């Protein structure tokens, strides 16, 4: 081949390469233009992801014992499902039962005491009946002994006073007889003086005789005065003794009536308190407040002592709506607002096969919560409500339980693909060339 032919061939090859290069460049430029246009127009979901777990709308219920006592029976285990009103624990109400027995026995005592005091006031016999006494036979015997002792004491005091009064009445009768005798004697002496006095004036009778009669008259007057004073003294003593007898009886009745009033008041208080104490005994049967699942048992051993207010178990409610407590990083919280839609993937089920659950944001915590106490890392709690049920491929509905973990994607608007890829570049540009 000559040099002329070689040059000609080279020129032809160069022309062909230039044309091919132009086509490639135009193709690349066209593809980039189409790609940029597509990226600028096509929108994707702006998703904020967080991890969470299913919880009940109601907080977990701490079931407490209302009374102190010993565990007689435990009817549930952890993870057992229970219904509202189901008996969880039976407690032997040692303290409440002891107090109830003490108050009931005291009430029996007061009832018998009231019957005894009413008999004392009425002045009738007292015999405790079996209806009043019940099982407190000894109490009835004690009250009967007290009734008889008080009655003997009163009767003994009255008997002594009546004996003294009888003595004074005898003295009174004797004094009255002395008054009568002295009165008669004085009358006779006066009559004799009336006879002798004229005879003395006529010198028929000696004057000494008249003087003797006048002396006897004065003595009779003195005896009469003494006898009358004895009568008055005896009458006064009798009145005092009679008053003392009445006072003894009045004091006896007054004390009985005052004691009866106090006893009736105390009995009324006990009768009012007993139903409440009976309720306390009944409350030692611990029942489930709501439907739920036993999450944690704090008392397992029969015979364990439970104090009033102790939480015997923790119950996760199941009859209330469930929600997902989702942890969101503080840097992403500005993207989320209430009513944003969410896609929920349960870790217990393969979302590629079974799909996801739909939900929406119902609440955002006002402040971040530390992951652990004392740590600087924190998160916001975002509550997500589930708006549907999850159904497996075979048509079986999934039973959602509190405690299940989930990944939650909160959809907070749209953005283009170009914005998606440009965001890292914009952040790098913003932070570039800074110390």
Of 94-108, 121-135, 255-269, 289-303, minimum mean pLDDT range: 121-135
**Sign of the dihedral defined by the CA atoms of residues 43, 44, 47, 53, in that order:** positive
* Long-range pairs, 234-239, Cβ under 8 A, ≥24: 234/168, 234/169, 234/171, 234/172, 234/175, 235/172, 237/164, 237/165, 237/168, 237/171, 238/165, 238/168, 238/169, 238/172
Q: Give the residue from 156, 216, 159, 142 showing the smallest Cα distance to 186.
A: 216
pLDDT at 261: 92
Q: How far apart are CA 354 and CA 406, in angstroms?
A: 14
pLDDT at 411: 84
Question: Could you report the per-residue pLDDT of 369-394, keeping only the tens digit for each?
Answer: 887 766 678 899 889 888 777 777 66
Give the pLDDT mean for 334-356.
Answer: 82
Q: Which residues pair with 414 in a beta bridge?
A: 45
Whether 71 and 302 have beta carbons less than 8 Å apart is answered as yes
pLDDT at 218: 84
Of 43-47, 292-296, 416-420, minimum mean pLDDT range: 416-420
Higher pLDDT, 376 or 164: 164
pLDDT at 262: 92
Whether 88 and 288 have beta carbons less than 8 Å apart is answered as yes
Give the pLDDT mean for 179-196.
Answer: 82
pLDDT at 227: 80
Q: How far apart are CA 46 and CA 398, in angstroms?
A: 28
Strand order in the sheet with 81-82: 61-64, 311-317, 292-297, 81-82
Question: Could you report the per-residue pLDDT of 216-232, keeping only the tens digit for each?
Answer: 888 878 888 888 888 88
Q: Could you give the percent of the chain with pLDDT greater than 90?
A: 2
Backbone angles phi, psi at 369, to 5 degrees: -115, 130
Rg (CA), the chain: 58
Whether 410 and 385 have beta carbons less than 8 Å apart is answered as no
Is 330 exposed, middle or buried (CB count within 10 Å of its CB: 0-12, 13-18, 19+)? exposed
Residue 41 token pair: 């127009």
Check pLDDT > 80 for residue 424: no
Q: How far apart are CA 44 and CA 411, in angstroms?
A: 10
pLDDT at 217: 82
pLDDT at 348: 80
Give the pLDDT mean for 239-260.
Answer: 90
pLDDT at 127: 82
Of 232-236, 297-301, 362-366, 392-396, minimum mean pLDDT range: 392-396
Check pLDDT > 60 for residue 240: yes
Give the pLDDT mean for 111-135.
Answer: 79
pLDDT at 372: 72
Q: Which helix (H) or strand (E) holds 386?
A: strand 378-386
Contacts of 112 (CB under 8 A, 6+ apart): 128, 132, 133, 136, 139, 140, 143
8-state DSSP, 397: B
Question: Could you report the per-residue pLDDT of 251-299, keeping only the tens digit for each?
Answer: 888 998 999 999 899 889 988 888 887 877 776 788 888 888 888 888 8
Whether 380 and 370 have beta carbons less than 8 Å apart is answered as no
Residue 4 token pair: 């002329």
Q: What SS3 state is found at 226? A: helix
Q: Give the residue from 252, 249, 238, 253 showing the smallest Cα distance to 162.
A: 238
DSSP 106-168: HHHHHHHHHHHHHHHHHT------HHHHTT-HHHHHHHHHHHHHHHHHHHHHHHHHHHHHHHH
pLDDT band at 20 (very low <50, low <70, confident <90, very high): low
CATH for the 97-282 domain, from 3.40.50, 1.10.287, 1.10.3210, 1.20.1260:
1.10.287
Check pLDDT > 80 for residue 53: yes
Ranked by mean pLDDT, the top range of 25-29, 143-147, 264-268, 372-376 is 264-268
8-state DSSP, 331: G
The alpha-helical segments, DSSP class H, found in 63-93 are none
pTM of the entire predicted model: 0.49
Neighbouring CB atoms inside 10 A of 292's CB total 27
pLDDT at 62: 87
CATH fold of the domain at 43-57+321-416: Elongation Factor Tu (Ef-tu); domain 3 (2.40.30)
Q: How far apart are CA 344 and CA 52, in angstroms?
A: 10
Place of tokens 């006066």: 190
> Domain residues of the chain, as ranges?
43-57+321-416, 61-85+289-317, 97-282
Mean pLDDT for all residues in the chain = 80
């Amino acid at each position: 081949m000559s040099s002329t032919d070689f040059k000609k061939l080279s020129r032809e090859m160069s022309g062909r390469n230039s044309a091919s290069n132009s086509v490639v460049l135009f193709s690349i430029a066209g593809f980039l233009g189409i790609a940029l246009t597509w990226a600028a127009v096509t929108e994707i979901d702006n998703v904020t992801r967080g991890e969470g777990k299913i919880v009940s709308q109601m907080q977990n219920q701490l079931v407490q014992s209302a009374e102190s006592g010993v565990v007689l029976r435990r009817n549930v285990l952890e993870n057992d499902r229970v219904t509202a009103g189901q008996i969880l624990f039976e407690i032997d109400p040692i303290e409440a039962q002891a107090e109830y027995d003490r108050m009931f026995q005291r009430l029996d005592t007061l009832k018998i005491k009231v019957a005894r005091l009413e008999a004392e006031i009425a002045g009738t016999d007292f015999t405790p009946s079996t209806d009043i006494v019940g099982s407190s036979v000894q109490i009835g015997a004690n009250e009967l002994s007290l009734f008889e002792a008080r009655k003997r004491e009163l009767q003994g005091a009255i008997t002594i006073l009546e004996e003294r009064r009888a003595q004074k009445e005898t003295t009174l009768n004797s004094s009255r007889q002395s008054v009568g005798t002295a009165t008669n004697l004085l009358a006779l002496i006066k009559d004799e003086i009336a006879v002798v006095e004229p005879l003395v004036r006529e010198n028929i009778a000696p004057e000494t005789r008249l003087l003797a009669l006048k002396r006897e008259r004065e003595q009779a007057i003195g005896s009469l005065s003494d006898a009358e004073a004895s009568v008055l003294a005896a009458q006064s003593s009798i009145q005092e003794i009679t008053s003392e007898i009445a006072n003894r009886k009045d004091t006896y009745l007054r004390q009985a009536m005052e004691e009866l009033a106090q006893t009736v008041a105390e009995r009324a208080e006990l009768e009012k308190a007993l139903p409440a104490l009976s309720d306390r005994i009944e409350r030692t049967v611990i029942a489930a407040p709501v439907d739920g699942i036993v999450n944690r048992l704090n008392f397992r051993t029969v015979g364990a002592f439970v104090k009033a207010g102790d939480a015997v178990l923790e119950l996760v409610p199941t009859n209330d709506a469930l929600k997902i407590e989702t942890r969101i990083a503080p840097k992403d919280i500005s993207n989320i607002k209430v009513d944003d839609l969410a896609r929920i993937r349960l870790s217990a089920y393969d979302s590629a096969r079974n799909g996801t659950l739909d939900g929406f944001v119902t609440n955002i915590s006002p402040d971040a919560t530390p992951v652990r106490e004392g740590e600087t890392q924190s998160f916001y709690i975002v509550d997500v409500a589930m708006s549907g049920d999850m159904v497996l491929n075979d048509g079986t509905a999934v039973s959602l339980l509190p405690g299940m973990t989930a990944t939650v994607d909160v959809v907070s608007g749209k953005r283009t693909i170009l914005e998606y890829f440009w965001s890292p570049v914009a952040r790098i540009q913003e932070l570039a060339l800074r110390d």
